[in-house]
Structure 1
């Protein structure tokens, strides 16, 4: 198969998803086979793993996953694998279960799955491992994944939330000059292990900052949305009801972009601190124009590349995979230019 054009977040967002094994290579998929370049010169593509079939199934094929897909496909190309990267266009647990089942019906050598809760995907994971298909979890694994005997590549969400909590408290004090007030914790997917644990960590980090700095910031959770208009409406309603008590917004995912959009529309930029997670383009733009104070990255490229590498070592020589923490990189005005240049390859 001819080499495809470089993956972009925009291209990923536009791609669709289908749920049957017979169409895994259609619009929702990215199937890549070894190129002539990858197979030349005695590189790894000529080795014992050449032509292994590996399928990566995510729970929500949104722009965040563009670098995950790139890392996965870059590693697969070196190894000479046949790769596919699939997922529903928006978070949909049942559709993801169906896509996982379809992937397993395609008889792959290995799969990489996300596991966004503690039960929904376990039947497919057990089906894979019992049939000899190697499994690695990526991006989110949820509690109890170790009992399934699989490795995981992704962020420690409580620790990352703690870092976010300390940073939002620091920025709130700097932005407002206040030592008390409400920091709103946004969650666009209640029940998601990753987001719930991040909020747990945010509260923990704010509490630690209070203890260390003599402040008394409190927290309130707000359910937002991945839909911009719904998110902005929820943010606006929360601010209106808070009667000036809000000193910061700490979103558990990339919905701080919507806080920035709303704040700019209301001429409120600088009246409170704004932070959250992930490095999609609207977030990077917000840090540049100072409507967002910071965002925490989680090295999504590694969630593709390292997850594939752990799978490869399970194939040959047979080392069992363990956990790899992709960290919590704080991105703010001090390093935004360098980070934006790095992330531009996925824009």
Structure 2
């Protein structure tokens, strides 16, 4: 009897799965003769049982607040797809530490690896070694320069040069001449250097008499603030202060507020949505920041790895541009009025209701 009952339950379960996958939801519910909650409907997934794959995320600034929503995106995608992850790498943009972490993931036989390619050459051989071992590798947040031979399968992140170029165009639209400081945490690293290069190219192309100077700030928020403050004190005639990374942007905002630079005609802006940056845009201290959606840089990377592994490598790798959105005082309200994992301001998993017209 017990065996017959198990066989019957398995048959019913199989019928339920087949109906949910092969029929419309309403039809399936009618045939099954009962109501189903939204949560139950979501659990009727299309994928069969699988190994709990582990993806190792190597990072260049593991404790930087920018990557808090990225880690939430990783966690949420892993929960959805039944995967595990590890967050490792370097706390201060040490490429050798990142390479060691990548090699350790290969030695530990990770099922997939994700890494920001912040150096044009250092990751080529380690990534090839991983691929030779049958481990798919995806780049996120930073990618190898066009034309380089890095063998990663796909890149998930912002078009970095284009985002910098558009920032440079905006700078040139606000400032006609004079000194403009362009702050960068770690010069040469491929997650931010292309932005600065794009900004300088756009400013140069504008033909305006703008003296755009590059200033290195460092890999930690406190160091960045100190360097920005020091530069301003030595160049109080500047016309603009802009940054190409999250920590430096927050530092620019802090110095702008402390010295009341907006009232002196100084413009400022940068990248990313650290809570302090968002607040100071709301107060009118900064002109803008640029959202590159760090949450989906984690979520989409796990998604691509899962699909690759689930399909035996037949599908999955595809470059994804995570976007470019200028956030100004006129558009900052939604960022202030919500506190979610999607922007790294809350640990709570939640569905955020949307109301009103959708703005592109």
TM-score by length of 2: 0.75
Residues 100-126 of structure 1 show CA distances to partners (whole Å, capped at 9, x for unaligned) of 222222212111111111122223211
Measure, in 2, the Cα distance between the counterparts of 1:267 and 1:308.
43
Correspondence 1:224 to 2:217: yes
Partner of 2:85: 83
Instruction: Select the structure with the greater relative contact order (CA < 8 A; seq sep ≥ 6).
Output: 1
Q: CA RMSD in A?
A: 2.5
Q: Aligned to 2:263, which of 264, 267, 270?
A: 270
Shift of 1:237: 4.0
Report the Cα distance in structure 2 between the residues aligned to 1:229 and 1:41, rounded to whole angstroms.
44
Query: Match for residue 115 of structure 1?
Result: 117
Give the aligned partner of residue 165 of structure 2: 162
Q: 1:253 to 1:341 in 2, by over 3 A?
A: same
- Counting only pairs closer than 5 Å after superposition, residues 1-347 of structure 1 correspond to structure 2 as 41-43=43-45, 47-61=48-62, 62-143=64-145, 144=147, 147-170=150-173, 172-173=174-175, 179-208=176-205, 210-211=206-207, 215-228=208-221, 230-242=223-235, 244=237, 246-254=238-246, 255-271=248-264, 272-317=266-311, 318-319=314-315, 321-342=317-338, 344-345=340-341, 346-347=344-345
Does the CA-based 8 Å contact 2:139-2:152 persist in structure 1? no
Cα deviation 1:209-251 (Å, max 9, x = unaligned): x35xxx433311112224455434433443344462x211121
CA deviations over 1:147-178 (Å, ceiling 9, x no partner): 415111011111000111122233x34xxxxx
CA distance in 1, matches of 2:188, 2:325: 24
Quickly say closer, same or farther: Cα 1:228–1:113, change in 2 above 3 A.
closer
Which structure has the bigger radius of gyration?
A: 2
Alpha-carbon shift at residue 262 of structure 1 (Å): 2.1
Structure 2 runs not aligned, ≥5 long:
1-38, 346-360
CA contact (8 A) 2:70 2:296 kept: yes
- Write the deviation string for residues 183-221 of structure 1: whole angstroms up to 9, x where unpaired: 11111201212222111111122234x35xxx4333111
SS at match of 1:270: helix
- In 2, the alpha carbon distance for the partners of 1:228 and 1:55 equals 25
The structural deviation recorded for 1:53 is: 1.9
What are the ranges of 5 or more consecutive residues in structure 1 without an aligned counterpart? 1-36, 174-178
Q: Report the Cα distance in structure 1 between the residues aligned to 2:117 and 2:110, rounded to whole angstroms.
A: 19
Rounded Cα–Cα distance in structure 1 between residues aligned with 2:284 and 2:249: 12
Quick check: 1:183–1:248 contact (8 Å CA) kept in 2?
Answer: yes
TM-fit CA distance, 1:290: 1.9
Q: CA 1:84–1:342 in structure 2 vs 1: closer, same or farther (change >3 Å)?
A: farther
Deviations 1:84-107 (A, max 9, x none): 222333322222222222222221
Cα distance in 1 for residues equivalent to 2:165 and 2:178: 18
Deviations 1:61-96, CA, capped at 9 Å, x for gaps: 111111111112211211111222223333222222
2:21 aligns to what?
none
Q: Would the alpha carbon gap of residues 240 and 41 (structure 1) be closer, same or farther in structure 2, given more than 3 Å must change? A: closer
SS of the residue corresponding to residue 121 of structure 2 reads coil
